[in-house]
Amino acid sequence: AQSVTQPDIHITVSEGASLELRCNYSYGATPYLFWYVQSPGQGLQLLLKYFSGDTLVQGIKGFEAEFKRSQSSFNLRKPSVHWSDAAEYFCAVTGGGNKLTFGTGTQLKVEL
């Protein structure tokens, strides 16, 4: 069965600092991987996705993620965090055409 682990429940960074959110997945074949962001009271917005090809994926809002098969990881990064990035971030995996399995999320707080 597919699963996703996000080890960090809460992360606090200063505005302008770099960010890395960790995601480890478990899936038997080649996974399709996603990062979503959720602001309070809002639905989930897709930041980026990986299906195949270049393992470094660029997304919206200046985010990027790197797929590392050997480490079963898909970590999300941003070089310089803005106060508006404060939200909850979810990593998800699917096998293609199937259900999305989400991690438990990482709550990001940005200090001004």
Partner 1 sequence: EAGVAQSPRYKIIEKRQSVAFWCNPISGHATLYWYQQILGQGPKLLIQFQNNGVVDDSQLPKDRFSAERLKGVDSTLKIQPAKLEDSAVYLCASSQQGSDGYTFGSGTRLTVV
Closest distance of CB 87 from partner 1, Å: 14
Nearer to partner 1, 52 or 70 (CB): 52
Return the residue matching tokens 């797929």. Answer: 67
Distance CA 47, CA 102 (A): 14
Count of residues that interact with partner 1, criterion CB under 8 A: 25
Site string for partner 1, 34-73 (x = CB under 8 A): x-x----xxxxxx--x-x----------------------
Give the span between the Cα atoms of 109 and 14, in whole angstroms.
8
Please, which residues bridge with residue 25 across strands?
A: 4
Q: Which is nearer to partner 1, 26 or 42 (CB)?
A: 42
13 in contact with partner 1 (CB under 8 A) = no
Closer CB to partner 1, 81 or 105, in the complex: 105
> Residue 40 in 3-state DSSP?
coil
Contacting positions for partner 1 (CB under 8 A): 4, 32, 34, 36, 41-46, 49, 51, 90, 92, 94, 96-105
